Amino acid sequence: MAQLSGQPVVILPEGTQRYVGRDAQRLNILAARIIAETVRTTLGPKGMDKMLVDSLGDVVVTNDGATILDRIDLQHPAAKMMVEVAKTQDKEAGDGTTTAVVIAGELLRKAEELLDQNIHPSIIVKGYTMAAEKAQEILEDIAIEVTPDDEETLMRIAMTSITGKNAESHKELFARLAVDAVRQVAEKKDGKFAVDIDNIKIEKKAGESVEESELVRGVVIDKERVHPRMPKRVEGAKIALINEALEVKKTETDAKINITSPDQLMSFLEQEEKMLKEMVDQIAATGANVLFVQKGIDDLAQHYLAKYGILAVRRVKKSDMEKLAKATGAKVVTNVKDLTAEDLGHADLVEERKIAGESMIFVEGCKNPKAVTILIRGGTEHVIDEVERALEDAIKVVKDVMEDGYVLPAGGAGEIELSIKLDEYAKQVGGKEALAIENFAEALKIIPKTLAENAGLDTVEMLVKVISEHKNRGRAIGIDIFEGEPADMLAKGIIEPLRVKKQAIKSASEAAIMILRIDDVIAAKISKPEGGQGGMPGGMGGMGGMDMGM
């Protein structure tokens, strides 16, 4: 509101909240740091889990950063920006979501120290930008090249990703499943591998133990045969894929037909029957003995298919049809009349099996399938869901290494190396920007510090020891938190993809820079939900009812 010759001028509507300058920065930094603190305890092999309960009472138990932040109901805009960091990291690299958010939070904490020394945000932003660019160069320098054929390295990458998650007790099994699945669907283009992880289908079924999880070199469809007289098991399967309904088509236009005698009605029904029989005859004539249909199958058509001994499944999802085509080499046909023997796919075995009391169709023994299925078993739904998240991360990190061919030592070794090198870089740069670069370097130590903290180690002592060893023994020295000592991460096989670390630094620095550049927050009045809190109340701006006493 402003005064104009004694008259008040209302600019912003009533109920709008506005934070300007240092206040806006302080509140945004606080909100972002609280988000980082929330997920920080989940980092590393000894990280803890979070139990998230939504408004409907559904429970999720996880230590996956992206899942935690996705499930929390947040109100503060700066907090939502931190969620975007996790989502970007998950989409681009598949792992390292917690790392990215923790680094972003620490960069902001260090920036606040500089703001308290009256250093202008623009200088901090410039220093952070320079440090982030330099960090990318340093990471590329210290990266170690691996070949996609190096199965042992791929296994170690997957196991490092799974360590610390609920699937850890069976990490070798899941690492093997992830590596085998990615290598199976990888396609070579211009001498480089490309992996489309949509071709790896994950099916979950409660029951049995986690050890019963398996990789099916083909596709598992959560459906059953349409007719009980159809064979349950077909060996040497010739598979037809049709995406139209095996039903009598209705006319496009609205038509009314008057039938005046029973004979006419009979001939109508006979004609329908004949049309359906012709459809089935055409399918049988191609030699197909297994049929997957994207739409419905008429009862009468089911009867004829059963007579021919064809195993048929209806209402198969479009995505599953595409996977079946990739796995078996079949072509999806729109019109039954166009189906020929060349369009059929092949599999050694198509079988209906009972899994946890439900029927599923297994298409196995495909020659060189470019689509595979991982069937996850486990005692409870919560266990299976967490195993799935761990497996997805493992699949994505193996994909990163297959595509890029570079890895880094994990266990905080990469961050310590960056911190040491960026400190040297700051001395070359000089000026006030050097302070920002030094603080950036210091902020990266939060990762080894958190790893030690979550393992119950003395963080100060551990950090001093590991940095000293790192300088003396080389850039692969990180924290072995099982032994509680500095160790050579490469020798221990604790490695991560270069892409994960590069993306984490990139996402974290960009988010921190964006939040630092904000000096004015204008929040419109938010109507109060029933029993909830509206607007951006008191100081921090309301965190969706989260208890933030940290």
Whether residue 279 sits in one domain with residue 346: yes
Whether residue 196 sits in one domain with residue 277: no
Kindly state the average pLDDT of the residues 95-123: 90
Contacts of 530 (CB under 8 A, 6+ apart): none
Q: Which range (483-487, 498-502, 507-511) has the least confidence?
A: 483-487
Identify the pLDDT of residue 421. Answer: 92
Structure tokens given for 97 = 């979501």
**pLDDT higher than threshold 60 for residue 321:** yes
Q: Is there a domain that residue 258 lies in? A: no
End-of-domain residue from the set 319, 353, 368: 368
Q: Is there a domain that residue 540 lies in? A: no
Q: Is there a domain that residue 535 lies in? A: no
Identify the pLDDT of residue 2. Answer: 53
Q: Which range (150-164, 180-194, 234-248, 528-542) has the least confidence?
A: 528-542
Q: Measured between alpha carbons, how far is 184 from 434 in angstroms, rounded to an integer?
A: 48
Q: Measured between alpha carbons, how far is 42 from 84 in angstroms, rounded to an integer?
A: 18
**pLDDT higher than threshold 90 for residue 254:** no
Kindly state the average pLDDT of the residues 210-222: 88
Whether residue 268 sits in one domain with residue 230: yes
**pLDDT higher than threshold 60 for residue 537:** no
In terms of C-beta density within 10 A (0-12 exposed, 13-18 middle, 19 or more buried), how is residue 388 classed? middle
Whether residue 177 sits in one domain with residue 245: no
Whether residue 235 sits in one domain with residue 209: no
What is the dihedral sign for C-alpha 64, 65, 70, 72? positive
Name the residue range of residue 305's domain.
218-251+263-368
| DSSP characters over 273-339 | HHHHHHHHHHHHHTT--EEEESS-B-HHHHHHHHHHT-EEE-S--HHHHHHHHHHH---EES-GGG-
Whether residue 353 sits in one domain with residue 379: no
**pLDDT higher than threshold 70 for residue 94:** yes
> For a pLDDT cut of 90, what percent of the chain falls above it?
28
**CATH code (residue 286):** 3.50.7.10
**CATH code (residue 155):** 3.30.260.10
Kindly state the average pLDDT of the residues 77-103: 88
Identify the pLDDT of residue 549. Answer: 37
Q: Measured between alpha carbons, how far is 348 from 363 in angstroms, rounded to an integer?
A: 8
Question: Which whole-number Å values give the CA distances from 270 to 247, 264, 421, in the listed order?
Answer: 14, 10, 83
Whether residue 341 sits in one domain with residue 228: yes
Whether residue 362 sits in one domain with residue 232: yes
Q: Is there a domain that residue 6 lies in? A: no
Identify the pLDDT of residue 45. Answer: 85
Kindly state the average pLDDT of the residues 435-454: 92
Kindly state the average pLDDT of the residues 492-511: 91
Tokens 């109060």 correspond to 528
Kindly state the average pLDDT of the residues 382-400: 88
Kindly state the average pLDDT of the residues 130-145: 91
Structure tokens given for 121 = 């945000």
Whether residue 363 sits in one domain with residue 223: yes
Q: Which residue has the higher pLDDT, 29 or 542?
A: 29
Kindly state the average pLDDT of the residues 392-404: 89
Q: Is there a domain that residue 549 lies in? A: no
Kindly state the average pLDDT of the residues 504-512: 92
Structure tokens given for 18 = 């506005």
How many domains does the chain fold into? 3
Q: Which range (150-154, 258-262, 296-300) has the least confidence?
A: 258-262
Chain-wide mean pLDDT for the chain? Answer: 85
Whether residue 317 sits in one domain with residue 244: yes
Identify the pLDDT of residue 6. Answer: 60
Contacts of 507 (CB under 8 A, 6+ apart): 85, 88, 89, 92, 100, 104
Structure tokens given for 3 = 């005064």
Kindly state the average pLDDT of the residues 445-454: 92
> For a pLDDT cut of 70, what percent of the chain falls above it?
92
Per-residue pLDDT reduced to its tens digit, 168-210: 788 888 899 999 999 888 888 877 888 888 889 998 888 788 8
Q: Is there a domain that residue 466 lies in? A: yes
With vertex at residue 132, the alpha carbon angle to CA 126 and CA 133, rounded to the nearest 5 degrees, is 95
**pLDDT higher than threshold 90 for residue 104:** yes
Whether residue 233 sits in one domain with residue 352: yes
Structure tokens given for 492 = 């221990």
Q: Is there a domain that residue 534 lies in? A: no
Whether residue 441 sits in one domain with residue 347: no
Q: Is there a domain that residue 4 lies in? A: no
Per-residue pLDDT reduced to its tens digit, 50-76: 898 888 888 888 888 888 888 888 888
Model confidence band, residue 313 (pLDDT cutoffs 50, 70, 90):
very high
**pLDDT higher than threshold 60 for residue 437:** yes
DSSP state, residue 526: P
Kindly state the average pLDDT of the residues 345-368: 88
**pLDDT higher than threshold 60 for residue 542:** no
**pLDDT higher than threshold 80 for residue 472:** yes
**pLDDT higher than threshold 60 for residue 535:** no
Identify the pLDDT of residue 3. Answer: 54
**CATH code (residue 50):** 1.10.560.10
Active site residues: 64, 97-98, 393
